[in-house]
Amino acid sequence: MAENLQQVKKRIRTSNSIAQITKAMEMIAASKIKKAQSAVEKNKPFADRVKFIVQKILAENTDLALNSSFVGISKNADRKLVYVISSDKGLCGGLLANIYKQVAATVTKDDYVVTIGKKAQNFCIKNGYNVKASFHMGSSFPQYESIFPMLKIMNNLYEAKEISSVEVIYTNFKNRLVQEPVTKVLSPVERDENFVNKGDHVFEPSSKEVLDKLIPYYFEASFYNMLMNAYASEQAARMSAMSNANENAKEISASLTIIYNKSRQEKITNEILDLANGQIH
């Protein structure tokens, strides 16, 4: 009986330790989400403005697509380049499983793949995808300059006429409870059929030259926004997973404490009965 009580007591201590660790991880993830949301809000005006100007030029000049691989339909090749964004670490609920399903449904073995995050890298290599390059996601908020070597791969493959389009698989952050795995086309830039052409603008020296200069910023702003969404989604999923793990650890600790108290009380009662029986004899 004494040995069983010691085992239960040890399990109670273990559960309490796990509850403390998961609570700390939950709080860290929550603080990182706040930073991510703030960065998304600060980046949004620039990204929206770049997108507006690009769409305005495309809406007013329907023939510009004929002179650019990045706009309209490219006929360079049949294969595409796919960026897969995941986390470097686990403990984030079903986020990784959803990304893996999205990859399996979207990417073929002939496509080029660039992974961002160790988990995506391991999955794609294990399943035989054509991985051209891999980058780490990191545990801190992604910096803007980190996207330049990532996008350089896209530019090089376009120049070599090896790809016809570029897609990005990532987890879109809707709120702290909902994160949705999505696949979005980064290139070629498609005309937005719902675009509302507001205001009169004069582009100098020409619309085409402005578009050519603006396209790199369009890709940068769009891609960085996806990277920030993926980072925020990772932290939100981890916060939710750690919250559930913390509650489960507390429940286990509470149930084990009840078992421990009952066993201890039973032991004391038996000792009293043995003592009483000895006195009677």
CATH of the domain at 183: 3.40.1380.10
pLDDT at 66: 43
**Above 70 in pLDDT, residue 75?**
no
Tokens representing 134 are 């891999």
pLDDT greater at residue 252 or residue 63: 252
Same domain? 175 vs 54: yes
Residue range of the domain that includes 228: 27-240
**Above 60 in pLDDT, residue 281?**
no
**Above 80 in pLDDT, residue 101?**
yes
> Measuring CA to CA, which residue among 23, 25, 3, 15 is closest to residue 258?
15
User: Looking at this protein, which amino acid is placed at residue 183?
Assistant: T
pTM assigned to the model = 0.80
Average pLDDT over residues 200-222: 83
Same domain? 182 vs 270: no
Q: What is the 3-state secondary structure (H, E, C) of the chain?
A: CHHHHHHHHHHHHHHHHHHHHHHHHHHHHHHHHHHHHHHHHHHHHHHHHHHHHHHHHHHHCCCHHHHCCCECCCCCCCCEEEEEECCCCCCCCCHHHHHHHHHHHHCCCCCEEEEECHHHHHHHHHCCCEEEEEECCCCCCCCHHHHHHHHHHHHHHHHCCCCCEEEEEEEEECCCCCEEEEEEEEECECCCCCCCCCCCCCCCCCHHHHHHHHHHHHHHHHHHHHHHHHHHHHHHHHHHHHHHHHHHHHHHHHHHHHHHHHHHHHHHHHHHHHHHHHHHC
pLDDT at 140: 81
Tokens representing 215 are 């396209």
Average pLDDT over residues 127-149: 90
Task: Give the model confidence (pLDDT) of 11-22 as tens digits.
Answer: 888 888 888 888
pLDDT greater at residue 67 or residue 100: 100
Mean of per-residue pLDDT scores for the chain = 83
**Above 60 in pLDDT, residue 72?**
no
Same domain? 120 vs 163: yes
pLDDT greater at residue 272 or residue 230: 230
Same domain? 139 vs 206: yes
CATH number of the structural domain spanning residue 254: 1.10.287
pLDDT at 160: 85
pLDDT at 198: 73
Percent of all residues in the chain with a pLDDT value above 90, rounded to a whole number: 25
Same domain? 98 vs 177: yes
Same domain? 71 vs 113: yes
Look at the chain and report how many structural domains it folds into.
2
pLDDT at 68: 55
Same domain? 102 vs 235: yes
Taking the C-alpha atoms of residue 257 and residue 35, their distance in angstroms, rounded to an integer, is: 39
Same domain? 165 vs 64: yes
Same domain? 14 vs 133: no
**Above 60 in pLDDT, residue 65?**
no
Q: For residue 94, name the pLDDT band (cuts at 50, 70, 90).
A: confident
Same domain? 140 vs 253: no
Task: Give the model confidence (pLDDT) of 168-210 as tens digits.
Answer: 999 988 887 888 899 999 888 877 777 777 777 777 787 778 8
> Measuring CA to CA, which residue among 70, 83, 82, 74 is closest to residue 164?
74
**Above 70 in pLDDT, residue 70?**
no
Same domain? 122 vs 180: yes
**Above 60 in pLDDT, residue 59?**
yes
Q: For residue 28, name the pLDDT band (cuts at 50, 70, 90).
A: confident
pLDDT greater at residue 167 or residue 211: 167
Q: Averaging pLDDT over each range in 19-33, 44-58, 103-117, 227-241, which range is the top one?
A: 103-117
Same domain? 43 vs 12: no
